């Protein structure tokens, strides 16, 4: 049985390097940039007006008006004091103008302009290159692209950019006793919550699965489903069938298909029967999650998502560890690291962590309202109220702040 830290290290060591692809700029928000983006021009590319108003030269009692300067034209220069030109926001400031006066403090009569409040020299002019200089790196490789980043890349002259590919992921739930959610379970049957849970988790994290498969606990159907899933994915996430029972066939079927298992059990609770395997020839990965829904959720949060982020080029894929004060006491058996679904609240400059009651790793209802996972080390026998406890926010609650 491997430790939690050794299991994580093994996953990271066996995750392939992210590959790249060049894609259209539209739709790249949420992807990881695989190149530096360098601007081919300065921004602004010329001195431009920051507002609708008048470009003037000199400080005078009144000004003779020139023709209006709309955006997108080359204006005539202002060659002497006492001359002003109506100007629109974004339009080039004419040569010779020393400031732009907003419309609200001016009046015009018989094509003569008077100014109620004179702004300082240089006011309301966005100077050439004050935002970006030509040749400047405006976005760095490894950036998680936001909508504003796509606009910056467009201003830098890009229609396509190089990003890291997202891995294709398939989900395979197992169990002859597992039935679709719309069916009424007979004695011994359970509804398939894991298929929806895993798919929703991955989609919320930005990695919707290619397809969700299900197989009964017989070798032929399990092999057929695994072959189909692997044909369309880089990572296969299974739920159930990974323990040591006679019907837990996932490991042996995957081994028949060329996978090497790096570990099959982890010294943790919940989720001891948790496995990770790789196919050296194809570079494909496989995570075998337990069938209990809470164990599945913990495995997704603590292992699978970290691997997916690394696979897709994220520079931040280690969980960020926070520390909170435990609101109540808890007891545990020594020997395994305990993951605890918790409610973390930040108040008065500190985190307070509370643990809802639960009846075990099949009690998915106990996760409602939780937003974090805390843990107690293997050697611990519990913790008293008021002591410090390490935790991490769940990915849906913390977003990018979950990672470092």
Q: For residue range 303-354, list pLDDT tens digits in order.
A: 999 999 999 999 999 999 999 999 999 999 999 999 999 999 999 999 999 9
% of the chain beyond a pLDDT of 90: 89
**CA gap 46, 40 in Å, rounded:** 14
Question: In 10 A of CB 133, how many CB atoms?
Answer: 13
Q: In the CATH hierarchy, which fold is given to the domain comprising 4-19+166-311?
A: Molybdenum Cofactor Biosythetic Enzyme; Chain A (3.40.980)
Query: pLDDT tens digits, residue range 21-79?
Result: 999 999 899 999 999 999 999 999 999 999 999 999 999 999 999 999 999 999 999 99
What's the pTM?
A: 0.86
- Mean pLDDT, range 142-171, rounded to an integer: 96
Sign of CA dihedral 341, 346, 350, 354: negative
Give residue 361's pLDDT. 60
**CA gap 211, 11 in Å, rounded:** 23
Point out which residues pair with 101 in neighbouring strands: 54
Residue 365 binned pLDDT confidence (cut-offs 50, 70, 90): confident
Give residue 358's pLDDT. 72
Pairing of strands 337-347, 268-269: parallel
Q: Which CATH number fits domain 322-402: 3.20.190.10, 2.30.130.10, 2.40.50.140, 2.40.340.10?
A: 2.40.340.10
How much is the mean pLDDT over the chain? 94
Q: Would you kindly state where each structural domain of the chain is located, as residue ranges?
A: 4-19+166-311, 22-42+135-164, 48-126, 322-402
Domain at 48-126, CATH class: mainly beta
Give residue 178's pLDDT. 87
Residue 247 binned pLDDT confidence (cut-offs 50, 70, 90): low
Query: pLDDT tens digits, residue range 85-98?
Result: 999 999 999 999 99
Least confident of 102-111, 226-235, 237-246: 237-246
Residue 165 binned pLDDT confidence (cut-offs 50, 70, 90): very high
Which residues fall within 8 angstroms of residue 74, CB to CB, at 6 or more apart?
92
Query: What's domain 22-42+135-164's architecture?
Result: Alpha-Beta Complex (3.90)
Give residue 27's pLDDT. 87
């Amino acid at each position: 049985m491997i430790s939690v830290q050794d299991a994580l290290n093994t996953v990271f060591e066996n995750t392939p390097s992210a590959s790249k692809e060049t894609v259209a700029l539209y739709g790249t928000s949420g992807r990881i940039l695989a190149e530096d983006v360098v601007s081919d021009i300065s921004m602004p590319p010329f001195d431009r007006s920051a507002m609708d108003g008048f470009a003037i030269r000199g400080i005078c009692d009144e000004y003779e008006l020139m023709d209006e300067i709309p955006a997108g034209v080359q204006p005539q220069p202002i060659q002497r004091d006492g001359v002003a030109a109506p100007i629109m926001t974004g339009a080039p400031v004419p040569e010779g103008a020393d400031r732009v006066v907003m419309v609200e403090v001016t009046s015009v009569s018989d094509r003569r302009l008077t100014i109620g409040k004179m702004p300082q020299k240089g006011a309301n002019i966005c100077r050439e290159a004050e935002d970006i200089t030509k040749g400047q790196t405006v976005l760095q490789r490894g950036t998680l692209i936001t909508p504003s980043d796509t606009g910056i890349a467009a201003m830098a002259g890009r229609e396509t950019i190089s990003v890291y590919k997202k891995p294709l992921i398939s989900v395979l739930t197992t169990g002859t006793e597992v039935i679709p959610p719309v069916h009424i379970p007979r004695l011994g049957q359970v509804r398939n919550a894991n298929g929806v849970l895993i798919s929703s988790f991955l989609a919320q994290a930005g990695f919707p699965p290619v397809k969700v498969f299900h197989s009964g606990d017989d070798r032929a159907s399990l092999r057929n489903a695994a072959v189909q899933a692997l044909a369309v994915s880089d990572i296969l996430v299974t739920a159930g069938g990974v323990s040591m029972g006679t019907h837990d066939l996932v490991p042996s079927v995957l081994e028949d298909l060329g996978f090497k298992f790096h570990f099959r059990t982890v010294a943790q609770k919940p989720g001891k029967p948790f496995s990770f395997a790789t196919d050296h020839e194809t570079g494909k990965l496989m995570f075998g999650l337990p069938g209990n829904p809470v164990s599945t959720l913990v495995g997704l949060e603590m292992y699978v998502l970290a691997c997916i982020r690394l696979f897709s080029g994220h520079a931040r894929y280690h969980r960020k560890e926070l520390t909170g004060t435990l609101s109540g006491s808890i007891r545990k058996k020594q020997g395994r690291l305990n993951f605890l679904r918790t409610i973390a609240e930040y108040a008065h400059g500190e985190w307070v962590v509370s643990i809802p009651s639960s009846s075990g790793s099949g009690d998915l209802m106990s996760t409602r309202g939780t937003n974090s996972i805390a843990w107690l080390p293997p050697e611990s026998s519990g913790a008293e109220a008021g002591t410090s406890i390490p935790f991490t926010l769940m990915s849906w609650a913390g977003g990018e702040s979950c990672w470092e």
